[in-house]
Amino acid sequence: MIDKVGEKNCCICGNCVQRCPKEAISLTKNFNTFNYPEINYNLCNGCNRCETVCPTLNELNQQQCLGAYMAKNINLTERKLSSSGGMFSVFANYIIENNGLVCGAAFDGLKVKHIIVDNKADLYKLRGSKYVQSDLGDCFEQIEKYLDNNRLVLFVGCPCQTAALRIYLKKDYSNQLYLVDFICHGMLSQSLFDDYIKYLERKYKSRVVSFSFRDKTDGWIESGPKVKFENGKIKRWPLYEDTYMQGYFSAVCMKNSCYTCKYKNFHSGSDVTFADYWGCEILDPEFYDFYGVSAVVINNENGNLLFNNISNNIEYKAVDLENIVKYNSGLIKPFEEGKDRSLFMDKIKNGSTYIEALLDTADKSNIILQSYREIKRKIKILKDKY
């Protein structure tokens, strides 16, 4: 049964929950701020279907990079509303235009959940980064039904989620199902995010009504949280000054399996991988764009087909994969556990709230934050020069 996986290896995809014929498994076991699978042995019949769809127990073959690009959506409005170069919108628009469906992470209030949309008007819900473990619900079950009814489907998620869907389906849906992941450093829990929202509400003395992680009012490099409060006030600050994101980059509060992620280096089963093309302003200043540039990695022929179908709607240039990895090492290897990870967990065990523990352990001098500031500095030099 699935209990052999354990909390240290489970990626919390929920495959076991969706495949169990007896509804004997639920994501209710709290461990290190996350909710893990828990078995009701009174309902379990020992069929082991949960094991057959577990991405921890069933590995995918390693894929090969077929192409790497820096790219940006030629639709400026969509690019402004996206985290980087607006690639998601281009891919999603194509799927919708061909009577398909798109599944991705959305805010439901202030909870992050995967939803399925079938029209362009709702795609805004799926745009933008959400640095929170999303609730997949029964999306995989729904996707399987749509595929069996010959619908086109685009799924976007983190690497463990694309691997989970590939393993859940157990069937090749090439030219019908397209899986897109993104370069992921790890996931933080909904519980931690909830606690952070409460912290902001206490600090600013008003209820949070909406939250965006990567608002680009001041451009891509200066992107950061934008928070709307019930009293009508709006607060913004740079990403690297955000307490929640400092915890993220310090790697003290991620899901346990993120530190040993097995879906790196082309093991996620995705067709295409997205990321910010950090370093663009240094490597190719002429292509750099104030509102963002994406890195796009093609992982197989299915991804290559999709990329060719949308290529007229983007501006792009081929790049060396090494240039993407240079500023996005998360493509090939997981984050190392933060030096204060144990301290973070000890504080929670001793009664601290999640945000109190984070405030005490987030490393503001983290190398990634330093790199982020260095990129800003070099952009200023380029602006002054040209």
| Three-class secondary structure assignment of 83-113 | CCCCHHHHHHHHHHHCCCEEEEEEEECCEEE
Q: How confident is residue 384, by pLDDT bands cut at 50, 70 and 90?
A: low
Amino acid at site 278: W
pLDDT at 367 over 50: no
Would you state the pLDDT for residue 385?
Answer: 47
Q: How many Å apart are CA 30 and CA 226, to the nearest integer?
A: 30
Q: Mean per-residue pLDDT for 340-367?
A: 83
Residue 31: strand pairing partners? 34
Q: Mean per-residue pLDDT for 254-260?
A: 95
Would you state the pLDDT for residue 265?
Answer: 95
Residue 350: strand pairing partners? none
Nearest to 133 by CA among 197, 193, 89: 193
How do residues 142-195 score in pLDDT, each as one tens digit?
999 999 999 999 999 999 999 999 999 999 999 999 999 999 999 999 999 999
pLDDT at 258 over 60: yes
pLDDT at 364 over 70: no
Would you state the pLDDT for residue 221?
Answer: 86
Q: How confident is residue 64, by pLDDT bands cut at 50, 70 and 90?
A: very high
Burial 16-45 (b: 16+ CB within 10 A, else e): bbbbbeeebbbbeeeebbbbbbebeeeebe
pLDDT at 372 over 80: no
Contact in structure between 299 and 273 (CB atoms under 8 Å): yes
Would you state the pLDDT for residue 163?
Answer: 98
Q: Mean per-residue pLDDT for 198-215?
A: 97
Would you state the pLDDT for residue 2?
Answer: 79
Q: Mean per-residue pLDDT for 60-70?
A: 96
Would you state the pLDDT for residue 377?
Answer: 53
Q: Mean per-residue pLDDT for 218-231?
A: 93
Q: How confident is residue 365, by pLDDT bands cut at 50, 70 and 90?
A: low
Q: How confident is residue 366, by pLDDT bands cut at 50, 70 and 90?
A: low
The pLDDT mean for the chain works out to 92
Would you state the pLDDT for residue 359?
Answer: 87
Nearest to 274 by CA among 296, 253, 292, 257: 296
Q: Mean per-residue pLDDT for 352-356?
A: 89
Q: How many Å apart are CA 5 and CA 164, to the nearest integer?
A: 14
How do residues 15-57 score in pLDDT, each as one tens digit?
999 999 999 999 998 888 899 999 999 999 999 999 999 999 9
**Structural domains in the chain, sorted by start:** 2-52 (3.30.70.20), 67-187+254-331 (no CATH), 190-253+339-385 (no CATH)
Strand order of the sheet with strand 177-182? 111-117, 101-108, 153-156, 177-182, 272-276, 294-298, 67-73, 314-318
Contact in structure between 89 and 123 (CB atoms under 8 Å): yes
